[in-house]
Chain A
Amino acid sequence: MVRAVDGVSWDVQAGETVALVGESGCGKSVSALSVMRLVDEAAGRIEAGEILYKGRNLLTLTEEQMRSVRGREIAMIFQEPMTSLNPVLSIGRQLTEGLEIHMKMKPSEARSRALELLAMVGIPDPERRLDQYPHHFSGGMRQRMMIAMALACNPSLILADEPTTALDVTIQAQILELLRDLARRLGVAMLIITHNLGVVARYADRVNVMYAGRIIERATAAELYARPRHPYTLGLLRSVPRLDEPRRARLAPIEGQPPDMTRLPPGCSFAPRCAFRVERCTVEAPPLEVVHPGHLSACWEAKRLEQVEVASEASS
């Protein structure tokens, strides 16, 4: 048995953008799929916990009740727009289907709402686009289409799983600007799941960092980037080359390999790769605790990190 997600808690308020950052296999997607109750029962189950949406525990809903939450109240945007759109349905049909089912709209009403949505996400010539198919759309256009679908029924929460990872940088910037503007304007709560710390810096209000199925640090974006209090976060920030800094002679990687989720070490999962490791780390897993108002870290040595600067050594 793999504990893909182990005791993870996070929250997001209306109008707020929260990020869940971590590397492949850390459990960030599973944690979002669980909210939608989309984890296949044969593949895995939610052993414990609560998912409170507007005060209601989604885990106690019937499948039918859950169906009215999905897409209507909570929408999801996936990384690969090509595999999440239906290739044999027209763009218009994919937008109107949800509107007719969830919002009980008449076909003509649904079509005019679909036009409005395409225009809102910046797809030019929406009238003509409505009758086209996903393969007529470029990658960026498909992702806009996914956003339009997510917004269709005025959801109050959007879960965006790596929404721009498959896109080119210039298109990434367009999509992220769009998502943030829409979320603010419509008061939608947004959870962005990503492995890219740069993306998060610009667009998130608060950040949760995950490692090996647990949240290991949580803070506002401003605080996290300026004063990371977990060695993993610090390592991630230091390992990426940055365009705003002089070129470094050498990159500072996190040594070792990401953990095998089937054979996690006792104690802190990051301990084998950690430069701040002490004896206690290999025995006892540190809890996520407040280290500063609004800033949580799961590290026995979090205090020591106060002395450490993010920007590291010499440049060339």
Chain B
Amino acid sequence: MSEVLLEVRDLVKHFPVRTGLGRPALSVKAIDGVSFTLHRGETLGLVGESGCGKTTTGRCVLLLERPTSGQVVFEGTELTTLPEEKMRAMRRRMQVIFQDPYSSLNPRMTVAQILAEPLKVHGLVTGKSARAARVQELLGQVGLLPQHARRYPHQLSGGQRQRVGIARALAMEPALIVCDEPVSALDVSIQAQIVNLLEDLQKRLGLTYLFIAHDLSVVRHISDRVVVMYLGKIAEVADRRALYEEPLHPYTRALLSAVPIPDPKLEAQRERTVLRGEVPSALTPPSGCVFHPRCPIAVARCSAEIPALREIRPAHWAACHLA
């Protein structure tokens, strides 16, 4: 396997919550001991339901959110202790694509201005005409036309705006792109265009992706390896094939069985584990295994003892006493 680009070690992020005078201080354990590595040129999928900590993990990796503890090592540099001005230079190498291209592009700037600004600020391309040429090159890379440079974000469709978001990330010549739900706000017919574009760019430019999403079918398509999170912890990590074909954690199995398949015949025959109850609050997580109150196979031990993330088969990890 190729070299390690990013290593996240025992990442913890707690958000303090104000509870009122005289009451004990509480904190939301948004991420509670998350570790993974990402190799150069690889796509690591990060899946889970809302509130599982996947977006916070992405933000902590980019140091947009300062972790409570733990380390983020990127290209050999530990980022959590890095002074801010050095961090700014590192940020160029790690970019992000957001879910909502509507709110992440400045509505008062043309596409050309949006793309040229970071080139200027970071001193990547000097001279107006050189920058204009680079903007054209970026537009070409993401499948937009030269005339799109003069448009404002509101003059573009959702898919085109997401292409601009991708071009802006590419402008910085990053090694890593954190994609936070990059297609979930787009129409179904456009999602596949963007997924294909991300894959093409990865091949051409050797990019590494941390792909955060809740859509398990899209994650399977794009990822080499997949991390499943539940309530701030990693439930399972494996490569794509193992995770989808032989899931070991009961939560992963339930998630997979909940994904609807566009085929009424298959759907009618499918066995399905409908999970009872809802995701508990991260303010007061359950004792032992955080999944035990909803788990269809939980035993007494599960409510008493926190399961460690163990390597159950080669390169296939799960945090379950019964796996």
Contact = CB atoms under 8 A, between A and B. Distances in A.
A252 B261 CA distance: 17
A240 B274 contact: no
A257 interface: yes
B244 A172 contact: no
Assign chain A's interface to a size class: 35 or more
Task: Determine the main DSSP class of A at the interface with B.
Answer: helix
Interface stretch (B67-75, B84-92, B110-118, B263-271): B263-271
B214 interface: yes
B214 A169 contact: yes
B264 A201 contact: yes
A253 B50 contact: no
Contacts of B192: 239-241, 251-254
A247 B219 CA distance: 11
Contacts of B262: 197-198, 200-201, 225, 237, 240, 242
Interface string B263-284: 1111110001011001100000
Interface residues of B, number: 43
B187 A195 contact: yes
A173 B159 contact: no
Given A174-B275, A201-B267, A242 B193 contact: no
Contact of B221 (A236, A248, A257): A248
A141 interface: yes
B196 A250 contact: yes
B217 A222 contact: no
B193 A243 contact: no
Interface stretch (B1-9, B35-43, B250-258, B315-323): B250-258
A139 to B, nearest CB: 8
B265 A243 contact: no
Contact of B274 (A23, A177, A258, A273): A177
A237 B263 CA distance: 9
What are the 5 A-B residue pairs with the smallest beta carbon separation, nearest first?
A198-B260, A253-B192, A168-B49, A251-B192, A254-B189
Given A169-B259, A240-B188, A241-B218, 17 more contacts: A138-B278, A141-B278, A168-B214, A169-B216, A169-B255, A198-B259, A202-B260, A202-B268, A236-B189, A241-B195, A242-B261, A243-B256, A247-B220, A248-B221, A251-B221, A257-B160, A258-B187
Interface of A: 23-24, 138-141, 168-174, 177, 195-202, 221-222, 225-226, 235-237, 239-244, 247-248, 250-255, 257-258, 273
